[in-house]
Amino acid sequence: MNQDEVRKAVLAELMRIAPELEAGDLVAGKLLRDQVDLDSMDWLNFLVALHERFKVEIPEADYAKLGTLDQVTAYLQAKAR
């Protein structure tokens, strides 16, 4: 998957969790949790969805690396290689 495809897949999963989200309004370099109403259960469900879609393990210690859409995309691309 190239970067665009990964980003689109991440956005699709995010919008499944937060259907009110307008993808166009999301700033890729800004913290997701500042832009989307995500509680810890939503966040866990989002990560589980990514884990299942990309078949990657995401240790809890890595959560801090997943702040923005750009970071999530880069992390998954690197892990999925």
Smallest distance from another protein to CB 67, Å: 16
For 37-70, give one letter per residue: b (16+ CB within 10 A) or e.
Answer: ebeeeebeebbebbeeebeeebeeeeeeebebbe
Smallest distance from another protein to CB 36, Å: 11
| Residues of this chain that bind another protein (CB under 8 A) | 18-20, 37, 39-41, 44-45, 47-48, 51-52, 57-61
Nearer of residues 3 and 48 to another protein, judged by Cβ: 48
